[in-house]
């Protein structure tokens, strides 16, 4: 028995006094029934129940109350609540941790909003879970890019390419000088393009390129599938000389990622597909800040954070907070590489670098590379020129003066973010 | 290659014309980038992109727009959208299906609401996934209750009982005549009460009871944990003579449940903890209707649906729709047992039975049994009397006339629902 605790931070809303709503939430962690029962002593409650650590009232967001809320919607208050849970209740087990900090509490009708924002985890979790096996350094070593932003891309079109076409695309991208290529999350293991056929099509192209140049781009094969197939899918990639596997974390589950990690001999590219289902609402679900800690603990070497000026719903502020979160040290684990994607091109490098202050990033451009007016090589050059310029302290104007590839990219994707 | 399809039904909201928003959603399933790229032919789009099957405008719900939505919130329209996805894109793989029907689409800024409501799955899924191994019939056989509602309870307090206390509680509940007992979802495998100690404490009590009476209540040990421990946890229960394991489906993941199913020799009690994170909002996430199909396919023998007059946020209408959904045949799978819980007691039996029309249910009462004024045996009697009366077509008044246990329950938990 230890005295370690987990502290969970929530945004809540209620028409009850905030302190009372907090007690309902904490109490759901103890007896979980609607009447006090035998053997439920004050001592038991004191030892096992969650305790309110702090509550701070904050302004309402303007979003409507969750369905099923009991109370006067116009009397709602919003608070940031920190609850303390005894680790001994669940032990350093991610699934059982979630039962406590993210279980039935989303169903409480006393709350008109309840979102888990952050988790403070004790060191026992790092004793049980190894975290990333490669991270920033291991990925840089495998792609042969000791410094500077790592530049990557996604196979486009996402689905529908025959193996021979896929081989062609990969050949072009390798020649273009890209560090990293990934399958789309839509490209799993369907009959139209089974993983085994993709591996057979892609790896010889990469090997021929590597034999000639001494460098092999990292290709993240999407091995997402039933748990019982993850090990075999991984082995298929590794035995063909592949250097990365991609898993859609929410689709195999955080537990599925952790299972894969115990077997993995190459970096795991962690895709966040389906995260919006729990992360987009400000009224319910699990925020990226909490989720990314679990994904890192479970072993994600690379983790999608989105990028600024993206085509999805997140603001630049939210994206930058996500990148910062992934870069924040966690329990001594190997650092995970933030993966910036969606609508990315060279013209976002300076603004991103100014905010992030590091090139320990994997920046993915799909259209920004495939769709460059002068082709993929110019697309990669425009990205690399822009990131090198940004990291050296140059202005955007200097970068545009020096790089024709960036100027040409601007014609199609502009304006440049300053 | 086949011509099978998956049809996914969504509630969406947008300020764009509904048909245009539907095309954005469908298009995200094909190229997934912001410019049209090489090799993305019209033919490829026609073969692989999702197709709009139908859109029907429905009234707005009054809920606010999701964060990051682009458009005039006052110009929003709501629609029920059915999209058709070629099965060959992903094959009958649940994780890869989810990438298509529930992946990045929650992040689209053109949508102010996007919730997956239902899935129509082709038979290929039933060829790959076995579904429940026991279901209604297998559970009835194991608990020795060939007809009538199965009456169960949850160990209370949820956490904090020492093994000797747990054994006492289980002994009392067995003597009370209950069919089924389950661990709380908060009771995982922590150092305060490890699974192995609980099995050691509980099973001898059940065996002694069974030796004497010929009937053994089914005890659902919560074996939720890392994927790599599920098989060993299951084996621990089975080798001690246990007849059920419980898994928190969202905490091990649907994929984790499917992994467990391939190994399981006893029914899997599927708990839905954390479902509220994706199910509660009417603006984003995954509805119970879609989720329960995947949980059944993955092998849940029992599935929590909540009950009427529950202590959580769901309305009776929603709960009854969930019970009906679980009872609707799915691809020829063995029928899953709906599990009614939260705030349940005998006085809800007639109203529930009238709506459901079946006793192929597992009705769990925590406080309703442990907290009965005359003790657990009277609690069980009050539930059984009420359900027997309801199923025989008697009125509530008749039931109250005949059953003192139900009358006494009403004093504490009333009024009775008619």
pLDDT in tens, A255-295: 999 999 999 999 999 999 999 999 999 999 999 999 999 99
Q: What is the pLDDT of residue B336?
A: 98
Contacts of B87 in chain A (CB under 8 A): 190
What part of A 22-41 touches B (C-beta under 8 Å)?
29-40
Quote the CA–CA distance of A307 and A338 in Å, as a whole number: 10
**Tens of pLDDT, residues A371-387:** 999 999 999 999 999 99
Answer whether A15 touches B (CB < 8 Å). Answer: no
- Percentage with pLDDT > 90 across chain A: 88
Its ipTM equals 0.96
Q: What would the pLDDT profile of A80-92 be if each residue is shown by its tens digit? A: 999 999 999 999 9
The residues pairing with B14 across neighbouring beta strands, listed in sequence order, are B77
Using 50, 70 and 90 to split pLDDT, how confident is the model at A46? confident
DSSP state of A335: P
Give yes or no for A127 touching B (CB within 8 A).
no
Question: Which residue carries 């799915």 as its tokens?
Answer: B330
CATH class belonging to B135-413? alpha beta
Query: Which residues on chain A are in Cβ contact (under 8 Å) with B96?
Result: 188-190, 224-225, 251
Strands, E, within A305-369: which ranges? 337-340, 362-364
- In CATH, the number for domain A5-128 is 3.30.70.150
Name residues 372-411 of chain A within 8 A of B (Cβ): none
Cα of B337 to nearest chain A Cα, Å: 20
pTM metric for this prediction = 0.97
Reading the block at residue A239, the tokens are 């035995």
Query: Quick check: helix, strand or coil at residue A322?
Result: helix
Whole-Å CA distances, A183 to A9, A46, A180: 35, 51, 10
pLDDT tens for residues B43-83?
A: 777 788 899 999 999 999 999 999 999 999 899 999 999 99
pLDDT of B271 reads 98
Could B109 and A311 be called an inter-chain contact, meaning their C-beta atoms sit closer than 8 Å?
yes
What would the two tokens of residue A335 be? 């650092």
Task: Give the span between the Cα atoms of B106 and B97, in whole angstroms.
Answer: 15
So what's the pLDDT on residue B3? 77
Distance from CA of B369 to the nearest CA of A (A): 10
B196-202, Cβ contacts within 8 angstroms, sequence gap of 24 or more = B196/B236, B197/B163, B198/B163, B198/B166, B199/B236, B199/B237, B199/B240, B199/B242, B200/B163, B200/B240, B201/B163, B201/B164, B201/B166, B201/B167, B201/B170, B202/B166, B202/B167, B202/B170
Cβ contact A57:A75 at 8 Å:
no
Are the beta carbons of A285 and B273 separated by less than 8 Å?
no
Distance CA B362, CA A268 (A): 41
Closest-CA distance, A281 to chain B, in angstroms, reads: 6
d(CA A186, CA A343): 17
Q: How confident is the model at residue B30 (pLDDT cuts 50, 70, 90)?
A: low
Cβ B344 vs Cβ B370: under 8 Å: no
Residue B200: closest CA among B243, B237, B226, B147: B237
Q: What is the mean pLDDT of residues B221-240?
A: 98
User: Among A1, A40, A94, whose Cβ lies nearest the Cβ of B191?
Assistant: A1
Among A184, A226, A273, the residue with its CB nearest the CB of B93 is A226
Yes or no, beta carbons of A98 and B169 under 8 Å apart: no
Phi, psi for A268 (deg, rounded to 5): -105, 120
Q: Binning pLDDT at 50, 70 and 90, where does residue B158 land? A: confident
Strand duo A5-14 + A77-86: pairing? antiparallel
Chain B 348-367, residues with CB within 8 Å of chain A CB atoms: 366-367
Q: Closest residue of A to B366, CA-based?
A: A33
A58 lies within 8 A of chain B by CB:
no
**Helix, strand, coil shares, percent, chain A, to 5:** 45, 15, 40
Break chain B into its structural domains and give their ranges. Answer: 5-128, 135-413
Mean pLDDT confidence for A21-43? 72
Sequence-distant (6+) residues with CB within 8 A of A249 are A256, A257, A270, A271, A272, A295, A298, A300
Residue A53 has pLDDT above 80, yes or no: yes
B33, pLDDT greater than 70: no
Bridge partners of B116, per DSSP, are B10, B286
Per-residue confidence (pLDDT) for residue A47, from 0 to 100: 81
B370 with A30: Cβ contact below 8 A: no
**Does the distance separating the beta carbons of B285 and A186 come in below 8 Å?**
no
Q: Would the CB atoms of B280 and A33 count as touching at under 8 Å?
A: no
In sequence order, the 6+-apart residues with CB closer than 8 A to the CB of A255 are A94, A95, A298, B226, B227, B251, B252, B253, B255, B256
Closest Cβ opposite residue A107 in set B283, B286, B313: B313
| Buried/exposed B175-202: b ≥16 CB within 10 Å, e otherwise | ebbbbbbbbbbbbbbbebbebeebbebb
A370: contact with B, CB 8 A cutoff:
yes
Q: Do B280 and A68 make contact, defined as CB atoms within 8 angstroms?
A: yes
Report d(CA B126, CA B122) in Å as an integer. Answer: 8
Chain A CB within 8 Å of residue B176 CB: no
Chain-chain contact of A156 with B37 (C-beta, under 8 angstroms)? yes
What are residue A114's DSSP bridge partners?
A12, A284
- Lowest pLDDT segment from A336-340, B2-6, B42-46: B42-46
A163 touches chain B (CB under 8 A): no
Contact in structure between A204 and A268 (CB atoms under 8 Å): no
Q: Is the pLDDT of residue A33 over 70?
A: no
A196: closest CA of chain B, how far (Å) = 14
State which residue of chain A sits closest to B229, comparing Cα positions: A259
- pLDDT attached to residue A30: 59
Test B277 with A165 for CB contact under 8 angstroms. no
Closest chain B residue to A158, measured at CA: B31
Nearest CB to A251: which of B39, B95, B278?
Answer: B95
Tell me which chain B residues have a C-beta less than 8 angstroms from the C-beta of A369: none
Long-range CB contact pairs, A291-295, < 8 A, 24+ = A292/A322, A292/A325, A292/A326, A293/A118, A293/A119, A293/A121, A293/A330, A294/A94, A294/A119, A294/A254, A295/A249, A295/A254, A295/A257, A295/A270, A295/A336
Mean pLDDT of chain A: 94
Contact predicate A167/A201, CB 8 Å? yes
A120 contacts A7 by C-beta, under 8 angstroms: yes
* pLDDT at residue A36 tops 70: no
Q: Are strands A113-120 and A284-286 parallel, antiparallel or unpaired?
A: parallel
Give yes or no for B188 touching A (CB within 8 A).
yes
Q: Which chain B residues have a beta carbon less than 8 Å from that of A370?
A: 33, 35, 37-38
Kindly report the three-state secondary structure assignment for every residue of chain B: CCCCEEEEEEEEEECCCHHHHHHHHHHCCCCCCCCCCCCCCHHHHHHHCCEEEEEEEECCCCCCCCCCCCCCHHHCEEEEEEEEEEHHHCCCCHHHHHHHHCCHHHHECCCCEEEEEEEECCCHHHHHCCCCCCHHHHHHHHHCCCCCCEEEEECCCCCCCCHHHHHHHHHHHHHCCCCEEECCCCCCCCCCCCHHHHHHHHHHHHHHHHHHHCCCCEEEEECCCCHHHHHHHHHHHHHCCCCEEEEEHHHHHHHHHHHHHCCCCCCEEEECCCCHHHHCCCCEEECHHHHHHHHHHCCCCEEECCCCCCCECCCHHHHHHHHHHHHCCCCCCCCCEEEECCCCCHHHHHHHHHHHCCCCCEEECCHHHHCCCCCHHHHHHHHHHHHHHHHCCCCHHHHHHHCHHHHHHHHHHCCCCC
Interface test with B, best of A12, A35, A112, A129 (most B CBs within 10 A): A35
Q: Which residues in chain B are contacts of A10 at CB distance < 8 A?
A: none
Contacts of residue A286 in chain B, CB cutoff 8 Å?
A: 277
Tokens coding B330? 């799915």
pLDDT single digits (tens) A157-196: 888 899 999 999 999 999 999 999 999 999 999 998 999 9
With pLDDT > 70 as the criterion, what percentage of chain A qualifies? 97
**From the list B33, B95, B224, which residue is nearest A96 (CB)?**
B224
Give the containing element (helix H, strand E) for A373.
none
User: For residues B347 and B386, what is the distance between their CA atoms, to the nearest angstrom?
Assistant: 7
Tell me, what's the pLDDT at A31? 54
- What average pLDDT does the segment B184-211 reach? 96
**Separation in Å, CA of B254 to nearest CA in chain A:** 7
Q: Which residues in chain B are closer than 8 Å to A158, comparing Cβ atoms?
A: 29-33
pLDDT of residue B311: 87
């Amino acid at each position: 028995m230890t005295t370690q605790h987990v502290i969970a931070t929530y945004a809540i809303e209620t028409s009850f006094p905030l302190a009372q709503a907090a007690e309902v939430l904490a109490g759901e962690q103890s007896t979980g029934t609607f009447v006090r029962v035998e053997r439920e002593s004050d001592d038991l409650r004191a030892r096992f129940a969650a305790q309110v650590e702090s509550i701070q009232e904050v302004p309402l967001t303007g979003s409507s109350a969750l369905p099923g809320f009991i109370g006067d919607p116009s009397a709602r208050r919003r608070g940031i609540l920190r609850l303390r849970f005894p680790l001994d209740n669940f032990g350093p087990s991610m699934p059982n941790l979630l039962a406590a900090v993210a279980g039935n509490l989303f169903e409480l009708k006393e709350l008109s909003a309840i979102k888990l924002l952050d988790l403070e985890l004790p060191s026992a979790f790092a004793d049980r879970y190894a975290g990333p096996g490669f991270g920033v350094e291991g990925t840089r070593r495998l792609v042969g890019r000791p410094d500077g932003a790592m530049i990557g891309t996604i196979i486009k079109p996402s689905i529908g390419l025959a193996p021979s076409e896929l081989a062609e695309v990969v050949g072009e991208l390798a020649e273009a000088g890209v560090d990293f290529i990934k399958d789309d999350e839509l490209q799993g293991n369907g009959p139209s393009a089974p993983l085994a056929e993709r591996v057979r099509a892609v790896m010889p192209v990469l090997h021929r390129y590597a034999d000639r140049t001494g460098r092999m781009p990292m290709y993240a094969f999407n091995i997402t599938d039933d748990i019982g197939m993850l090990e075999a899918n991984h082995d298929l990639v590794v035995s063909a000389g592949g250097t990365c596997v991609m898993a859609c974390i929410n689709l195999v589950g955080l537990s599925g990622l952790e299972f894969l990690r115990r077997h993995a001999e190459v970096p795991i590219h962690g895709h966040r597909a389906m995260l919006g289902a729990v992360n987009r609402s400000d009224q319910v679900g699990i925020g990226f800040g909490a989720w990314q800690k679990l994904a890192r603990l479970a072993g994600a070497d690379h983790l999608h954070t989105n990028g600024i000026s993206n085509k999805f719903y997140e603001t630049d502020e939210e994206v930058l907070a996500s990148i910062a979160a992934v870069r924040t040290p966690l329990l001594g684990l190997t650092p995970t590489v933030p993966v910036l994607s969606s609508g990315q091109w060279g013209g976002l490098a300076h603004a991103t670098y100014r905010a992030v202050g590091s090139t320990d990033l994997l920046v993915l451009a799909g259209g920004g590379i495939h769709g460059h007016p002068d082709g993929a090589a110019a697309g990669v050059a425009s990205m690399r020129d822009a990131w090198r310029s940004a990291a050296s302290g140059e202005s955007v104007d200097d970068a545009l003066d020096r790089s024709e590839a960036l100027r040409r990219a601007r014609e199609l994707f502009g304006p440049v973010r300053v």
